[in-house]
C-alpha cells in the first residue's frame, strides 16, 4: 500500500507557472506507475499526465502537452508536475495517483489516490 500527499497548488495568473509535488510513503514509489488527474467544478475527473516506474515513458493529455512536464525521483519517492503557461481552464483540484500496472489514462486503473491540491489560474 502507498500513501500519497500532494503539495504546490495555489493561485497564479494566466501565463504563470506552478510545480506540483506528490510525496509517496509506504511501499516504494518505484513499484508504481504514477499519474496526475484533475477535476474542475461540475466536471468529471480527467487524466493529465502519467510516468512509468523508471521514468522512461510519459503520457500527456492533449490539452497540456507542451506546457506540462511530469517527472519522478524514485530515490526521494517524489513525483512532480511542472506546469507552465497556465490557462484559466487549467483551474482544478489536481490529484496524484499510483497504479501497479503500466501507464494508463483511465481513472479506474489507478489503485491509490491523494487528497488533491487546488490550482487556480486567474485571467
What sign does the dihedral 11-12-13-19 (CA atoms) show?
A: negative
Q: What would the mean pLDDT of 14-31 be, rounded to a whole number?
A: 90
User: pLDDT tens, 37-89?
Assistant: 999 999 999 999 999 999 999 999 999 999 999 999 999 999 999 999 999 99
User: pLDDT tens, 94-113?
Assistant: 999 999 888 889 999 999 99
Q: How many CB atoms lie within 10 A of CB 57?
A: 12
Supply angle C-alpha 112, 118, 123, rounded to 5.
Answer: 140
Amino acid at each position: 500500500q502507498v500513501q500519497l500527499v500532494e503539495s504546490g497548488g495555489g493561485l497564479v495568473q494566466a501565463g504563470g507557472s506552478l510545480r506540483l509535488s506528490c510525496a509517496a510513503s509506504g511501499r516504494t514509489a518505484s513499484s508504481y506507475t504514477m499519474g496526475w488527474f484533475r477535476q474542475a467544478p461540475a466536471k468529471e475527473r480527467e487524466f493529465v499526465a502519467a510516468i512509468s516506474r523508471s521514468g522512461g515513458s510519459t503520457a500527456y493529455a492533449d490539452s497540456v502537452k507542451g506546457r506540462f512536464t511530469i517527472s519522478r525521483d524514485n530515490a526521494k519517492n517524489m513525483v512532480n508536475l511542472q506546469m507552465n503557461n497556465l490557462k484559466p481552464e487549467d483551474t482544478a483540484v489536481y490529484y496524484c495517483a499510483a497504479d501497479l500496472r503500466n501507464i494508463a489514462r483511465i481513472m479506474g486503473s489507478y489503485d491509490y489516490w491523494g487528497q488533491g491540491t487546488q490550482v487556480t489560474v486567474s485571467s
